[in-house]
Structure formats: C-alpha cells, structure tokens
Chain A
Amino acid sequence: MIGGMDEIDRFCDSFLDDSHRAFREAARGFAKQAIEPHAYAWEEAELFDRGLYTQAAEAGLLGPSFPEAYGGAGGDVFHLLVSTEALIEAGCTGAAVGLGSLEIALPPIMILGSEAQKQRFVPPVLRGERIAALAISEPGAGSDVAGVRCLARPEGAGYRLNGSKLYVTSGVRADQVTVLARTGLDPHAGLSFFVVEKGWEGFRVSRALKKTGWRASDTAELAFEDVFVPTTHRLGEEGAGFACLMQTFLGERLYLAAQGYALAHAAWREAVAYSKAREAFGRPIAGFQVIRHKLADMAARTLSAKVLTYQCAAQVRAGSCSPAQVALVKNEAARAAEWVCREAVQVLGGMGYMRETKVERFSRDARLLAIGGGTSEIMNEIASKGLGLAP
C-alpha cells in the first residue's frame, strides 16, 4: 500500500502537522512515479539514474530541512523523516540513500563553513546539479575515527592531501567530497574537514564497491595522491573536524533510525498485502493464526521503532537529545528493521527470497543499519557511557 495512513501512522500522527502530512503525500506521489517503476532495474544495475537527482530536487525532496537561504525548503527534521519514509516505500533503498548522502555530506559545511563556502557548496547540491559525499572511514579506521590517517600537510596557500577513504556513499559519482583529514598529531584536535572537488589532480575513485544491500547506491574507495587543496576549501579552523563530526552524528544516526522504521513499516505493509492475497490449503494465509500473530508482532516492533524515532526527532528538533539517547534509538530501529524484514520474507515464502520483491531487497538493506553511521557495538558503548554503566 502506498498512500493513506494505517494504524502505525495514526499512532505517530500527533508528532506531525499538516505540512508534514502534505509533504509525505507529495513525496509518495513522486516516489511512486519516479522511483518505483525502476526500483528493481536500478538495484540490479547497482546504480540509479543520475537524472533522479534533478528530478528529486525539482520535486523539493533534496534537503527538505535545509534553510531557504541555501536552497533548502526551510522545513524541520520531521520533513526529512516523512520524505525518507516515502522514498523507502518505493522499494529502492539504494536510490533513497544515494539521494540522501547530502544529508551527511553537507552538515559539516553548514556548521563550519564560511558564508562564501556555504553559498558555493550547498545550493548546487540541493538543486541536484552536484552530488555530495562524506568521507570519514578509511581502510584502517572505521569505528575508531580518531585513527584517521589521511594526511593534509600545509603547503603554500593550501594543503597536500594524501591517503584513502573507504565505503564512501555516492563517492563514485560525487562532484564534491567532504573529507576528514589529519592536520595535526593530536588524535582528536588534529582532524580537519576539507571539500575536495572532482577532477582535481591526484584525486580519483580507486574502486566502486559491490554490496549486500543498498545496491542502487554507488559506494567508493577514494584515493588522494598529492592532491592540492586550497585553503578556501578548508572548513572552519584547523583542528575543528572532530568536534564538528560529533555534532553531525546526532543527525546522521537519527536519519539511519528513520530508515530503520521506514524499512520495517514498508516490509510490514508488503507482508500484510501478501498474506491476504496468497492462498494455501484453501484459504488466504492470513487465515492462519500463526501468520496473523506474526504480522501483529511485526506491527508492534515497527510501531515501537517509529514512535521512538519520532520522539527522538522531536528532541533533536528541540535541541535536547543526547548522543546516548540517539544511539539507543538507532540500535532499536536497526534491530526492528532487521527482524521485521526477515519475518516479511518469511510471510512471502519463496517469493520473499526473489530479488524482484521489495521485501527481499529490504531484508538485505536492513543489515546495513547495525553497521553504517557507527556500529551497534559502538552505539552501545556510547549509550553505556551516557547511562553511567561503567563501574
């Protein structure tokens, strides 16, 4: 089912106002027409059409909560959540997260960038003309961000950048990459953000990576060999990178939690529809109590992940969310997504194992949520600090 509200939506509806509801409908209309018909082909091709960026921008779906002054729509975090729901329902998570890489690539620019840098690097991305990616992780440093080794050595009116970055979402096609690199020895205070542009000498995509899920989104390993980065492309002061990154994690993890409940919800809807249509032993499989109760359990998990994420979003909007809270929420939403998508596959039986079905894809997409944006182990580590669990 696309469009309309079910019981799960109704339960969460008090967090939304008319503008969120209207935007969700518009986003659903767009996703149904511009993504859904191509979802399977794009996932198989491991790339969605580049034209989707401009189409989505025209429909107002890129960066809904960015300020108007930089080409955004001036919405709030709930506008991002409802558009994420709509994009994921269309059955091509890869396209949703590919379009969404700007949601992690632009915040460091918005937080640290000068007015000129913001005007230069943000509006063209929100117009869908340029693709933006964020490059933190490296072959030798993922969870341990302070272990970043990519080195930016001062030279003349800028820096020489050397190193490599791994798992960069949208990295293969990116026109600009927000890169975290080392400008000093201190593990934390020695990190700075830069914007590196496509076509610069020494900057190349060394590999397009093949993945379990999120298949329609391109993921890259990037190489920097003596790339000259002018000072105009350093964001904020030298050494401001780590603190800024910590600030952006809140939004990134909330965004991933949203993908979690959205995947669960979409998979649940698919499973419900299938259970009413599929007959076995002379009746629809929803006629079996085992299946109905499974669907009810799936609804409960979806609902709790969604309400939790909405509550977290409300606190993020109010500026009163702690890293521990968002870490707990991300873990819970990721677990709900994995479990509900698994059960949805089960409800569809053999069909659930076929790549042409949404739930098959969702079940692979969901696996990412316990890894990307900080693993579930790291989330628990952050949560246990916040909860004061260490002796």
Chain B
Amino acid sequence: MRIFVCVKAVPDTAARIKVDKDGSHIDPSGVKFVLGPYDARAVAKAISLKEAAGDGAEVIAVSAGGTKGERDAKKRLKDALALGADRGILIPDDGCENRDPLEVAKALAAAIKAEGEFSLVLLGRTAVDDQAMSVGPMLGALLGAPCVTDAVGLEIAGGKATVTRAAEGRQQTVELTLPAVVSGQRDLAEEKYPKLKEILKAGKKPIADFAYAWTDGGYTVTALEPPPEPVAGKIVGEGPDAVPELFNLLQNEAKKLSF
C-alpha cells in the first residue's frame, strides 16, 4: 500500500497576520509557520493506516511550497517525516502564497503520477491560511479517483476505503474503491507529537525535488485586507429594563435570534 499525504506550510493560527505594503501578500516577519493542523492529522492517519497494513506500506509526504525562510516547505515536510512519513517530495514554488489552487492540484497530481501506483491520497480539509478547500476535490478529479471531503473516520479493507464524513447535522458513511482521495477533518486522527527519535531520523530521510512549470492560470489574488474592525460595543441600559431593547437589537439589528 502506498499512501500520499499532501501537506502545506501555513502561519500558526495564533500568529497575528499583517498585510504587506503591496496589499496582496502577508508580511511574514515574525510569523511562525507550521504544518497545517488538518494536514498533521492526515499524516497521523496515514501512519496509523500504514502500521495497520504492516510490511511494505509506504507513506510519502508531498508539499508544493516555498524554499526560503519560514515558508520553507522542506521544514514542514520534515515535520511530516518526524511524525512517521517515510520520505518527502517537494515541489518548489516561491510564488506559492497566492497560487491558483487548480495549479497546486495539477502540480500535486503530476508529482503523484510520476511515482506510479498509489492506494490513497490524504489531505487536510483545508489549509488554514487561505481556507480555499479546493485542492482535495480537484486532485481527485485530476487523478481520476473518487474523492470525499471532511472525513472523520477512515478504514481500509479489501481494496476499499470506508469513510465516515461529517455532513451537516449527520454523519455519512461512504465506500470508495481504491485508489481514492480523502480530505480529513480534525477528528480523522488524534493529535500526535513527534518523538525526538523520529525527529532525529527525519533529518536523514530523503526529500526529493519535483520540478513543476508553474503558470498563473486564470486565478489572481488582487487584494488582501485585514478583516473589518469589529463594531464598537453598545450598552443599552441596566438590569431588567434593558431587556426589551437588547432583545430588539439582537433580533432586528444583529439578526442573531430567529424563531
């Protein structure tokens, strides 16, 4: 069994994001980049599937991303290797920040196809920076493989993947014939911390470059702005007398109440 896990270097969700002077990039200074939190769970799941499958199974982490500084995707591939992936593939892209998600999916598909056979491609449901949520499904289409998103459970048996996914207000179970592409929720696997032994081993595991001729596609990020400032608070009165006005504002202005 051969499992690919696609991972992305993203700013730590605790980081305060500032927009660069040019108005279309974030200012990376002082921002810590990490392995995407959903991606990390996907890696953890891949490792447990590999362990369950036994001998011969292989987990390959793939990342399209930067080669410098905090955006260096190789560092995040090393995180995946430290979590137990066997080797990594880096698709260098120093213009990765605002890259067309379709281009990213094409590059990942090319890198995966170049490796030959695969059983499963795992991804996080979204990258927590641009929240595009599109690479997983596009990758499924490009690889001609069935795809589900938002998996919270995944089992492999008899050439099939049984995926439980979080749908609105219910859980859906879907069976996919392998090879398949699955994007995962946080609950897909428990959070794992890399062990020092694995971190040290990760330094020696191979990471190969896969060159891809990036094009701009039909997608351009034209502006990047901080989210609107929250509206200033309002004190409508005190004690029970304030309730009717509070109720009125919540229902009619904030539209937070509906019956």
User: Which residues of A does B touch, CB under 8 Å?
Assistant: 3-5, 18-19, 22-23, 26-27, 29-30, 33, 59-61, 64, 68, 73-75, 79, 83
Contacts and interface: CB of A to CB of B under 8 A. Distances in A.
A18 B75 contact: yes
B82 interface: yes
Interface residues of B, number: 19
Contacts, number: 58
Given A3-B32, A4-B12, A60 B79 contact: no
Interface string B128-166: 000000000000000000000000000000000000000
B232 interface: no
Contacts of B82: 22, 26
Given A29-B193, A59-B195, 18 more contacts: A3-B14, A4-B12, A5-B32, A19-B202, A22-B78, A22-B79, A23-B194, A26-B193, A26-B199, A29-B191, A33-B191, A59-B193, A60-B193, A60-B195, A60-B196, A60-B197, A60-B198, A79-B196
A26 B195 contact: yes
Determine chain A's interface SS by DSSP, over half rule: helix
A30 B195 CA distance: 11
A83 B194 CA distance: 13
B242 interface: no
Contact of A73 (B32, B193, B197): B197
Given A3-B14, A4-B14, A4-B32, A19 B199 contact: yes
B197 A3 contact: no
Contacts of B191: 29, 33
B203 interface: yes
Contacts of A30: 193
A60 B198 CA distance: 9
B199 A22 contact: yes
Nearest to B78: A18
B200 interface: yes
A74 B199 CA distance: 11
B196 A23 contact: yes
Contacts of A73: 195-197, 200
A73 B194 CA distance: 12
Contacts of B197: 60, 68, 73-74
Nearest to B79: A22
Nearest to A71: B197
Interface string B194-220: 111111101100000000000000000
Interface string B13-40: 0110000000000000000100000000
A59 B190 CA distance: 13
Contact of A3 (B12, B75, B79, B202): B12
A75 B196 contact: yes
15 contacts: A3-B12, A4-B12, A18-B78, A18-B203, A19-B199, A22-B79, A22-B202, A23-B196, A26-B195, A26-B199, A30-B193, A59-B195, A60-B196, A64-B196, A74-B200
Nearest to A74: B200
A24 to B, nearest CB: 10
Contacts of A59: 193, 195
A61 B195 CA distance: 8
B191 to A, nearest CB: 8
A30 B194 CA distance: 10
